[in-house]
């Protein structure tokens, strides 16, 4: 049978029972709606989290003290962890492909200016910090390139802290106290916003070794390395590992490349999206059951029509195609309706709650419609086969 004729015949059967077809279609529509909306939200969250993490750039390698593996044996003497020192950072700086090295220690301290006080997050960092984390200075300058072991007592304020402590005047050049010690403000950062709920603007930056003193820590919390765009990452990582093993006498650090982190994060979020999509898929399955039952009813109602078509020369294949086409038509129409509503719903959420991350990738749309058609096909196979297998004489006799 010609495709156009097939579509017209199947279409006439669908439109002959408007309410019934509409309800059946609704089942699939709800399923597709759920899948599209849920995966849109999942994908939106995925993109949101990824962009939160990549705002610092992607060619960064993080080094943290301690080996992040679980071992069966007691850590004992092997477990001794040497602190990551500023000297380690200086040694890393000389490795090939390394462009900048940021030492990092973090804590809380009381900041005082005149009679104003504010407790805030203090980052003890090296002067490379803005370059590595794409964080710009708004006025003044960042920490000067002093001797990292004995830097001057200078500080750079986050934009929010600057506004709080210096509502009127410019803070650059002012004298403040950080945890009781006197510092001179040399600069103010650009606003950066928040990351996963942490306010990156309610902060103060001081030289790393002063940070260590301030918090009474022996070692750095993290060393971040910015490497050249075209660097061979594996080679670089093993170079870092060799250097630190030599300096520490054993492997006692964890090296994480930004790419690794992104990959892990991406796969976790991908699973999340898939899982919510699968939840929506359950309702799609229910819609498929609806098509199956309506097709079963339709086939028995039209037994004599099958007999007639067979008498007029229709082959079994043509009967099968006709009923399959009907099931697919129902499913495809439902899928399309669900897509429109689901996509529209995602768009509405975007408009009404801009902070809620929602994103519908185009391939999801095609995938969802394809899934609807596949479900229609599967739901239609058994009824259509039953219709095709009818004995013409008996089918004709049914009234």
Partner 1 sequence: MIHLEKINRIFQVGDQQVRALNDVDLTIRSGEYLSIMGPSGSGKSTLLNILGLLDQPSSGTYQLDGRETTQIDDEQLARLRGRKIGFVFQFFHLIGRLSAAENIELPLILAEEAPAVRKPKVQEILHKVGLEDRAEHRPDQLSGGQRQRVAIARATITRPDVLLADEPTGNLDSVSGAEVIQLMETMNDSGLTVLVVTHDPIIGDRARRKIKMIDGAIVADTQERGDEDT
Residues at the interface with partner 1 (CB under 8 A): 1-2, 4-5, 9, 12-13, 15-16, 304-305, 307-318, 392-393, 396, 399
CA-based torsion, 2, 25, 280, 382: positive or negative? negative
Which C-beta is closer to partner 1: that of 119 or that of 316? Answer: 316
Which C-beta is closer to partner 1: that of 204 or that of 319? Answer: 319
The nearest distance, CB 320 to partner 1, in angstroms, is 12
The nearest distance, CB 2 to partner 1, in angstroms, is 6
Residue 253 makes CB contacts below 8 A (sequence gap 6+) with: 63, 64, 65, 66, 67, 84, 244
The nearest distance, CB 389 to partner 1, in angstroms, is 10
The nearest distance, CB 299 to partner 1, in angstroms, is 15
The nearest distance, CB 282 to partner 1, in angstroms, is 34
Tokens found for residue 78: 């092997």
d(CA 49, CA 68): 23
Which C-beta is closer to partner 1: that of 260 or that of 318? Answer: 318
Which C-beta is closer to partner 1: that of 307 or that of 342? Answer: 307
The nearest distance, CB 12 to partner 1, in angstroms, is 5
Which C-beta is closer to partner 1: that of 9 or that of 26? Answer: 9
Residue 147 makes CB contacts below 8 A (sequence gap 6+) with: none
CA-based torsion, 85, 91, 93, 96: positive or negative? negative
Candidates 248, 267, 291, 300; CA nearest to 50 is: 267
Residue given tokens 């900048």 in the structure block? 100
Through-space distance between the first and last CA atoms of the chain, rounded to whole angstroms: 26
Which C-beta is closer to partner 1: that of 273 or that of 321? Answer: 321
d(CA 386, CA 399): 18
């Amino acid at each position: 049978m010609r495709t156009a004729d097939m579509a017209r015949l199947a279409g006439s059967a669908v439109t002959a029972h408007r309410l019934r077809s509409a309800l059946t279609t609704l089942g699939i529509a709800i399923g597709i709606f759920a899948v599209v909306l849920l995966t849109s939200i999942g994908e939106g969250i995925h993109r949101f989290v990824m962009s939160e993490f990549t705002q610092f750039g992607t060619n960064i390698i993080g080094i943290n003290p301690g080996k992040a593996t679980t071992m069966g044996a007691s850590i004992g003497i092997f477990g001794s962890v040497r602190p990551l020192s500023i000297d380690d950072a200086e040694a890393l700086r000389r490795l090939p492909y390394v462009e900048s090295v940021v030492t990092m220690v973090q804590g809380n301290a009381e900041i005082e200016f005149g009679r104003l006080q504010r407790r805030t997050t203090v980052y003890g960092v090296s002067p490379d910090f803005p370059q590595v984390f794409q964080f710009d200075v708004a006025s003044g300058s960042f920490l000067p390139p002093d001797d990292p072991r004995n830097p001057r007592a200078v500080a750079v304020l986050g934009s929010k802290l600057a506004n709080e402590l210096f509502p009127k005047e410019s803070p650059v050049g002012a004298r403040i106290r950080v945890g009781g010690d006197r510092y001179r403000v040399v600069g103010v950062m650009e606003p950066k916003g928040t990351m996963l709920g942490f306010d990156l603007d309610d902060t103060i930056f001081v030289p790393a070794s002063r940070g260590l003193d301030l918090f009474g820590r022996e070692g750095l919390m993290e060393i971040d390395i910015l490497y050249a765009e075209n660097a061979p990452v594996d080679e670089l990582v093993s170079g870092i590992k060799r250097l630190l093993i030599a300096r520490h006498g054993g492997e006692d650090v964890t090296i994480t490349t930004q790419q690794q982190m992104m990959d892990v994060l991406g796969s976790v979020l991908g699973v999340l999206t898939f899982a919510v999509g699968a939840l929506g898929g359950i309702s799609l399955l229910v819609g498929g059951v609806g098509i199956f039952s309506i097709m079963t009813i339709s086939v028995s109602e039209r037994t004599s029509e099958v007999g007639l078509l067979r008498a007029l020369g229709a082959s079994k294949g043509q009967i099968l195609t006709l009923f399959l086409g009907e099931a697919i038509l129902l499913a495809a129409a439902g899928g399309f309706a669900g897509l429109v509503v689901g996509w529209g719903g995602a768009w509405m959420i975007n408009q009404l709650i801009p902070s809620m991350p929602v994103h519908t990738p185009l391939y999801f749309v095609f995938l969802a419609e394809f899934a609807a058609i596949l479900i229609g096909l599967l739901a239609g196979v058994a009824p259509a086969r039953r219709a095709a297998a009818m004995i013409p004489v008996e089918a004709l006799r049914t009234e």
